[in-house]
Amino acid sequence: MYIQGLITDERENIDPDALPFARKIKEIHRQGLREGARLVEVVKQVKRDVLLGLSAVGGLFSKEVLEALKGSTSTRPAIFAMSNPTKNAECTPEEAFSIVGDNIVFASGSPFKDVDLGNGHIGHCNQGNMYLFPGCASSTSTFFRKKKT
């Protein structure tokens, strides 16, 4: 994904730094997507289990995007809104828990208060950068292919 949506090998004037992340147009057409598809379209079609926010675009994980994550096949979808400062977080824990549900795993790069889920449970949200970023780097280098999506 890029600021102008899903990146494909057909994108004109693509930023050279974004080129390694471009998807093959035939591949995304098979998935029912198109060049420039918005994040919500991608989440709905691909049905991923994790939203990893590193964009510093506050509110990027909109109500639409979070509702689309409900289509995940995971019993515990994960939302990592890692950008900071707080105003740049992709979503708040209140939004994530209230829209997706209290079964989510949520972590943030910004300081948020835990969320009272109203059922005697607390949604914890300050797992923080110290744990997430090294874990992402380690798992990426250990388990994933050369191409990341």
Burial pattern 10-23, b for ≥16 Cβ within 10 A else e, equals ebeebeeeeeeebb
11's CB contacts (< 8 A; 6+ apart) are 4, 22, 35, 36
| CATH code for the part of the protein at 47-143 | 3.40.50.720
Instruction: Return the percentage of the chain with pLDDT > 90, whole number.
Output: 34
For 53-72, the pLDDT digits (tens) are 888 888 999 999 999 999 88
Q: What is the pTM of this model?
A: 0.80
138's CB contacts (< 8 A; 6+ apart) are none
Residue of 55, 49, 50, 1 whose CA lies nearest to 23? 1
- Residue listed under structure tokens 């991608």: 42
For 87-115, the pLDDT digits (tens) are 999 999 999 999 999 899 998 888 888 88
